[in-house]
Each structure stands twice: as structure tokens, then as C-alpha cells.
Amino acid sequence: MIFREENGALIVRQQNETLRIEAWGKDSLRVRATQYPEFTGRDWALTEELPQEQKKAEVDISEGVMIEGPGYKYWVQQAVVRNGRISVRVNPGGVLFFYRDDKLILQEYSRNYMGNETGQSNCLKVVAREFKPIVGGDYGLTVRFDGQDGEKIFGMGQYQQSQMNLKGCNLELAQRNSQVSIPFAVSSVGYGFLWNTPAVGRVSFGANYTEWHAEAVKEMDYWITAADTPAQIVNNYTAVTGRAPVMSEELLGLWQCKLRYRTQEEVLSVARKYHELGIPLDVIVIDFFHWTRQGDWQFDPEYWPDPKAMCDELHAMGTKVMVSVWPTVDKKSINFRELSDRGLLIRTERGSDEVYDYQGDCSEIDVTNPEARAFIWEKCKKNYYDYGIDMFWLDNIEPDLVNYDYDNLRYYIGPGLEVNNIYPQMVAKAFCDGIKAEGKEEGMLHLARCGWAGNQKYSTLLWSGDVPSTFEALRDQVAAGLNVGLAGVPWWTTDIGGFQTRDCFDPDFVELLLRWYEYAVYCPVLRMHGNRAPFDIPPLSDKEYGGGYLYTGHDNEIWSYGDEAFEIMKSQLQRRLDMKPYISSLMKEASETGAPVIRAMFYEFPEDEKCWELSDQYMFGSRYLVAPVLHIKEREREVYLPAGKWRNVNDGTEYEGGQTVCAPAPLEVIPVFERI
């Protein structure tokens, strides 16, 4: 094993592996290893410029450990790398031990060695960093860390499960509809860990050990930071991966959407009614299949004859306009041949080049190629943006596939197994770069169904995908939204009422919708959307293409569910509008520090052990404690109030903290408490 220092970084050579450890941001280290002669030079999520003092670590290489055995005796090197509060010790066996202020916080799998100091090999023959060659290709990679009793793990993006604490969970590192893989974990022990590769894989946060696995990589790459609180950890992480801009206060009220407004007149009639009722409508959203064919990226002129006049009227009413864009390209699209000839589509390794078959025989544009990103923006600028469309809904950008056979995909930047998870980020980048080039960066926002580490810097508002309309799904969204925020993305929303409705006229569904709406009032964005069955509305056309043939769901405006529901939603909307200045301050804080808008209880109260156990209540910023109603017919629920004074915003009752209270929850409100 050979140790050397190189410009403030530690380089360790052992057999075919080169290990590099260097400072990368405040109290943070980047760790890379490769079996190749050189590193790739790709920084992936670690994109931000850093102060010079955060780029150079203190490196101490010593020769002070004696290795003895039958017939041999020699001294071996070990090294310590320190950057502020974090340090790592490399023992003679090459195993890494990470410290915060000299307290051990994480260590590579070490049970293969006789002792931490000697590094002598034991009988298990299980290594911490395992590169397994892929025949004819790169490497499968597994990295293992010892488990720690009592540790809790959060973050990692969005998974459809009720478990917010991920310790004991197995997570697929892959993008799917309603699953967003952002491989950044926040530990209760006091560190944050970024698995800095967009490769498809998995992570198991086991009690005995944590195991990260990538199906195909050229090198190991991870980043680790140390801090006392989750807030400081997220701050350090977003400093190196980027932060969201400030979301405009003009977007913090009601968003109106449904599957689907089929015509220009339908959109205008809805907006006009909101305007006539005196109900502010910040955004109206035009969903899919308003186009001629997938990949045309244009309005069907039969049903959208004058998009500019539509946008002008909506803007005059104070409403911004968002339109859905998919990356899918039908083989009958006007753009397919050019995209194919120029090599701007995702390729398949075997079989058909069809990768998506919903309402067409489709390929997908390869946005990892900068030419493809420029192409899709050029079309969307001409056919949407130049008409006055304000924002884009980037749907299906996992990318959604016929089958999630990642090993059958090949992108401009590499095989699907190696790079697939970065695809949704490159879609957002295409639109960010395009709008920046127009000189209108302020107020930029993209509603996206997926993202990856660092997506926040691309003005991404994640939403939780096509989730069911059930109370169980609502429960899952609470955990998902909190973990998304801990993974660095402060802008997040859901389809109010869920997406997949069986019967929108069922009173039980209306109750679910109201409870979901009341919860969404205390989320970053309040957005009505859903696929409202039964599907008994005749299509506008019998053509097999264009904007008129596909089905539509029933009405989904706040007046669509009866007078009682309308009054409740209108009242809750007023509460939201009254909070706009406060929510705006949260958006500014998110932009400055990376702080989530919706926060796990332990984020605000890290010293309160009980707060680390709570996953069904949360903080809306630092002021409001929100306890969603997550069961049908529930009219009260228990709420834990941390130390301090609290006021129930619904009835004015004041409480001393440090106790659990039973809070009333009539249909028209959920329990919300303000810190006083």
C-alpha cells in the first residue's frame, strides 16, 4: 500500500485500486476509488464552485504501525485526512474510519480485519469496496459500512411507503413513476452521505451493515459531511450540489389542473369562473394530449386555435399558464425522422427500439446529449413559450418505459445501468438553459415527476406522481415529502386527492379530497389535479391522434364536489393566501440555506428524542406544526407538542409543550399549532 499527498488530497495505491480522498466543501470529504489508470473527471451532483479554503484538506501520513507474523516483521503506513470538523483515518488494510470532532460516526465494513490499527486480513474475505468486473465492460460496485445501533436514516428522495426512517429498508436506486431516487442520506448520528453516481442499483440500510450497490460504474464516488444538526447537514450538502432559486410569491396560491382540459375554451371557462367568484387562481395547468402527436411538442390547432390569445386573457386575470411536455417521440411524429437521423434518441441494446407504448409506438429523446436538449427546447420555445406559456410540466421524465429494463438502454453519455438516474435532471436542465438564454430566469419553475441529486438548482418542483386516491397513499405522501426535503429539494407537491380515482362522486372520496387539500395548504405548492373516474365522458373526436380522441376525467375544480366541500376548500384557500408572505419567507430561506419548506419534526427539534420517532406530523417552516388527518371518519387525533408554547390556530387554545394532546379535527380543518 502506497500513500502520498497531492495538492491537499490523499492518494492511496493498493494493487489495482487508486483511492483519492479530498476536501469538498465545509466539513466535508469526497472519496473516490477506481480500478482504471485515471479517474473519469465527472463530478455528477457535485457541481457548485467552492471557496479555495474548502478545497484543501490537512493530510498526515505516518509510518507507525508494526505488522508481524510468522517469519516477517515490517512497518506500514496509515494516514489521516482532516477538513474542518470531519476527518477520515485510513488504516493499513485500506479501511476508512470517519470522525466528527474525533468521534467515530461511520466506518467501512471492518469485520474482515483483525483490528482497526493493523489491518490484517481475517477469514471472511468480505471487503468494504468490492469491484466486480462486468465481462466486456466496466464494474459492478458494492460498498459496505458497519451498522450502528440506534442510528436512524432519512432522505433518499421519494419512495411510496409509510416508513420515513429508512433504517431497515431496502431501496431501489432507480427512477420510476412516483419513485424519485436522490441518493443522499441524513443520519441521526451526525453525518450526511451522498452516493455520487447516477447508476441504477440499490441500498440496504441494514442493522448489521449498510450496503450500497451500483450495477455498472467506472469508479466509486461518494461524499460525506459532518455536523451537529440535520439543518447544518442539509446546508453543507446543498452548498456543493446547488440550491433552489426563490419561488415567486405569485405561485404560492391555488394551482388548478385536471386530467385533462381538452380545449382552449375549457381552460378559459374554468379560469373565468374563478375570476367571477373572486377566487384568485395563480396557475392553471394544461395536461397531456393537447398535442397532435407525442414528440410534435405543439398544440393541436383544431382545439387550441389561438394559444397566444388564451395566454393573454389568462395573464390579464392574474393567472399563469403551465403546459405538459413529455420526452416521448411517436414514430409518426413530425420530428421523429430528424431525431433518429441525428442520433438524438435513446438507443436500445437489443430488440425493438420502441421503449414506450402508451397511445403510440414511441422512442424517447436522449436529453443526456446537449444537442437533444437544444432540440426539445427549440421546439417548445417556438410552439409554447413564444405564445406566452409561463412554465413547463415535465411529465414522464424518469423516463417512463414499457418495461424498466435499464440494461437495454444506451444514452449519449453511457449505458443505461450506469447513467439512467440522471435523465430527469437533464430534462430540467434543457428547459432551464433555454429560459436562461431568453433572459427570463426570474420566476422560472418546472413541475417534474422525477429528479436526481441537485435537481433543486434547476428550478424543479417535484410532485409525487400518479399515486392512488386512498388514505394509505396520503399517509405515504407525508413521509415522502419530508424525505424529499431532507434530500435537498425544497419544492414538492402532490395531486390533491390522489391521481387514480375510482369514483369521484363517492362521499368517501370527497372526504379524502378534503383531508388531502387541508394537508396541501401546508405544503410548498397547493395544486388540484387528478384522474377523476368514472370515464363516461365521450371523446371529442374519433381520430386516433390529436387533441380530441383521448378520454377526460370529470371536473376537478374546488366547486366540483358540492357546496359543503366548496366552502371548506374556499376557507382553507383563504388561510393559504393569508400565509403567502410567510411562505415567501420560507422560499427565500430555502434558496439561502437549502432548508426544506416542510420539515421533519427533528429538523426543528433535534435535541428532542421523541421528534426523531414522529413521521405523521411535521413543521411547516419553523412556525407551524401540522398534523394531517390520515384516516377516514377521523375527527380527532393525537399530536405531540415539543417544548415551548403552542396555539391551536383553529380554536385559539394555548398549550405548554412537552406533551401529547388530543386535538379536535372536524371535517373542515386539520390540527395546526403555531409556536408562540
Residue 274 confidence (pLDDT): 98
Indicate if the pLDDT at residue 113 is higher than 80.
no
Catalytic residue among 151, 300, 390, 398, which? 398
Judged on CB neighbours under 10 Å (0-12, 13-18, 19+), 662 is exposed
> Sheet of 86-90: strands edge to edge?
58-69, 72-83, 86-90, 96-100, 103-107
Indicate if the pLDDT at residue 129 is higher than 80.
yes
Indicate if the pLDDT at residue 283 is higher than 70.
yes
Q: Is 466 an active-site residue?
A: yes
CATH of domain 257-326+376-398+424-593: 3.20.20.80
Give the residue from 268, 346, 258, 298 showing the smallest Cα distance to 545.
298
Interatomic CA distance for residues 209 and 107, integer angstroms:
10
Indicate if the pLDDT at residue 596 is higher than 90.
yes
CA angle 164, 169, 174 (to 5 degrees): 95
Indicate if the pLDDT at residue 545 is higher than 90.
no
Indicate if the pLDDT at residue 68 is higher than 90.
no
Residue with cell 427500439: 353
Global pTM reads 0.97
Give the residue from 405, 403, 328, 326 showing the smallest Cα distance to 364.
328
The alpha carbon dihedral of 337, 341, 343, 347 has a sign of positive
Residue 359 confidence (pLDDT): 94
Residue 263: phi, psi to the nearest 5? -140, 160
Q: What is the pLDDT of residues 334-344, one digit of tens each?
A: 999 999 999 99
Indicate if the pLDDT at residue 114 is higher than 80.
no
Confidence of residue 121 (pLDDT cuts 50, 70, 90): low
Residue 442 confidence (pLDDT): 86
Interatomic CA distance for residues 23 and 40, integer angstroms:
18
Residue with cell 427549440: 378
Confidence of residue 65 (pLDDT cuts 50, 70, 90): low
Q: Whole-number mean pLDDT of the chain? A: 96
Q: What is the pLDDT of residues 487-501, one digit of tens each?
A: 999 999 999 999 999
Q: Is 395 an active-site residue?
A: yes
Question: CB of 21 within 8 A of CB of 9?
Answer: yes
Question: CB of 469 within 8 A of CB of 512?
Answer: yes
Indicate if the pLDDT at residue 86 is higher than 80.
yes
Which SS3 state, helix, strand or coil, does residue 540 take?
Answer: coil
Confidence of residue 122 (pLDDT cuts 50, 70, 90): low
Catalytic residue among 151, 395, 511, 604, which? 395
Interatomic CA distance for residues 197 and 218, integer angstroms:
10
Catalytic residue among 313, 466, 476, 495, which? 466
Residue 1 confidence (pLDDT): 81
Q: What is the pLDDT of residues 357-415, one digit of tens each?
A: 999 999 999 999 999 999 999 999 999 999 999 999 999 999 999 999 999 999 999 99
Residue 236: C-alpha distances to residues 26, 42, 48, 161 (Å): 6, 20, 12, 27
Q: Please give the CATH architecture assigned to the domain spanning 600-675.
A: Sandwich (2.60)
Widest distance between CA atoms in the chain: 93
Domain boundaries, the chain: 2-241, 257-326+376-398+424-593, 600-675
Confidence of residue 554 (pLDDT cuts 50, 70, 90): very high
Q: What does the H/E/C string look like for 95-131?
A: CEEEEECCEEEEEECCCCECCCCCCCECCCCCCCEEE
Q: What is the pLDDT of residues 611-645, one digit of tens each?
A: 999 999 999 999 999 999 999 999 999 999 999 99
Cell of 170: 431496502
Instruction: Answer yes or no: same fold for 2-241 and 600-675.
Output: yes
The CATH homologous superfamily of the domain defined by 2-241: glycosyl hydrolase (family 31) (2.60.40.1760)
